[in-house]
Structure formats: structure tokens, C-alpha cells
Chains A and B, each alone.
Chain A
Amino acid sequence: GAVVSQHPSRVICKSGTSVKIECRSLDFQATTMFWYRQFPKQSLMLMATSNEGSKATYEQGVEKDKFLINHASLTLSTLTVTSAHPEDSSFYICSASGSGGAGWTDTQYFGPGTRLTVL
């Protein structure tokens, strides 16, 4: 139980385009989803927290107009990187916590990540 999928696994795009990443909880209801960014050989940096049906809460320094987050249902959250630039290239990972077989509601289960490369 507590499986989180993420799509796509890899994406290469041109500078100036937008990229959407999907995060799904497959066997539980994700009341909260989190988006992280991870640079090579570094830790996970929390970008934002989203609760189903409400606006995301962004961490300090994260541009909400650049990283659009939508959590429209209890099983799906999306992150859209708008007008991507080479410095946005990174490994983006989502996680989800919730109920319905996912253990404690604060336990986070991670997706496999999306490697974004902006040319």
C-alpha cells in the first residue's frame, strides 16, 4: 500500500516553455501533497505544500507564479513549471500523506521523481 506515481519520469524542454508534472496517489487518499526539488548530491528542498481543494502554501523563496501547483482531487496534484529556464533544471519529487491505508496521516510517501532538463 501507499504507492505514489509521478509522470513523466524525464522531460527535456526548450527555454521559455511550460512543463506539467503529475503526482498521483494510487491506493490511498492524499489529503496533503508536497513538492520537493533536489539538486545533485543534495538534500530535498520543500517547495510547497498543497491540500486538496485549497491553494498551495509555498516555502520562502519559491515563486508561486513560476511553480503553479494544483491539487484538484484526493489522488492528483500537478506542478507546472512556467516559462522554464536552464536554472530550473532539477529533480522534482512529490510526496503524499493521507488516509485509507497510508498509515499515520503525517507519513509521507514519495513518488519516483521527474528529471527536468531545460535547454
Chain B
Amino acid sequence: GENVEQHPSTLSVQEGDSAVIKCTYSDSASNYFPWYKQELGKRPQLIIDIRSNVGEKKDQRIAVTLNKTAKHFSLHITETQPEDSAVYFCAASPNTDKLIFGTGTRLQVFP
């Protein structure tokens, strides 16, 4: 089955710097890759997603890149702000019935 690895597990950056989180997946059939942000005790919120027919997608300060050949995808956050502090999860969808999540990255943005 699908396996998703995520790195780093923790990431600390200064406000205004960029943050990059990387994920790799194992199932070449996966074709949908969402990223979720989860604040402590709250629900995961979808922040951006990408499908296998594109290589990059951007939404303001957030971008996601996908390399299907290498089976990895990354989340890029520019001009980080303290409110970006949260746990970020990547996921891969081997079919329309499920998402397999990475282990999460705890991002801390220091003012």
C-alpha cells in the first residue's frame, strides 16, 4: 500500500523567512496530494492541493511542487508569519477512496 514520509518533523524559522516541508510517496498510482494545517486541538484545514497533471501550484504565500518521476512533493511557505505556526500534514491519494497522511511537521515561526 501507499506510504508517505515527511521531513522534517520540526522546523523553526524566523518571521519573514521561508519554510519548506518535503514528502515522498511510494505508490506511483497516487494522483492527488493535499496539504493540511492543524492547530492544536483543532481540525485539519486544507491549505493547498495539487494533482498529478501539474507540477506546481501557488496560492499567495503558499506553493506546492510535485515531481512525479521522483515521487516527491513539497510545500513552500514564503514570508512566514507567527500565525503560520502549526502542524502541517502532507497526504497522498492512491485512489479516490482514501488519503494516506505523512507524519507531520511542527512549524514554529518566531517573531
Query: Is B78 an interface position by the 8 A CB rule?
Result: no
Query: Is A107 an interface position by the 8 A CB rule?
Result: yes
Q: Which of B45, B96, B98, B101 contacts A105 (CB 8 A)?
A: B96
Chain B interface size range: 20 to 34
0/1 string, A12-49, CB within 8 A of B gives 1: 00000000000000000000101000000011101001
Q: Which of A63-71, A73-81, A109-117 contacts B (4 or more CB under 8 A)?
A: A109-117
CB distance from B9 to the nearest CB of A (A): 10
**A contact patch SS:** strand
**B contact patch SS:** strand
Q: Which of A32, A43, A106 contacts B89 (CB 8 A)?
A: A43
Q: Is the CB of B96 within 8 A of A44?
A: no
Interface residues of B, Cβ cutoff 8 Å to A: 32, 34, 36, 41-46, 49, 89, 93, 96-104
CB distance from A95 to the nearest CB of B (A): 8
Interface residues of A, Cβ cutoff 8 Å to B: 4, 32, 34, 42-44, 46, 49, 57, 93, 97, 104-113, 115
A109-B46 contact in complex given A43-B101, A43-B102, A46-B100, C-beta closer than 8 Å:
yes
- Given A104-B32, A106-B93, 14 more A-B residue pairs with CB atoms under 8 Å apart are A4-B43, A32-B96, A32-B97, A34-B98, A42-B103, A43-B89, A43-B102, A44-B44, A44-B89, A46-B98, A46-B100, A46-B101, A49-B97, A112-B42
Q: A110–B36 Cα gap in the complex (Å)?
A: 10
Q: Which residues of B contact A106 (CB under 8 A)?
A: 32, 93, 96
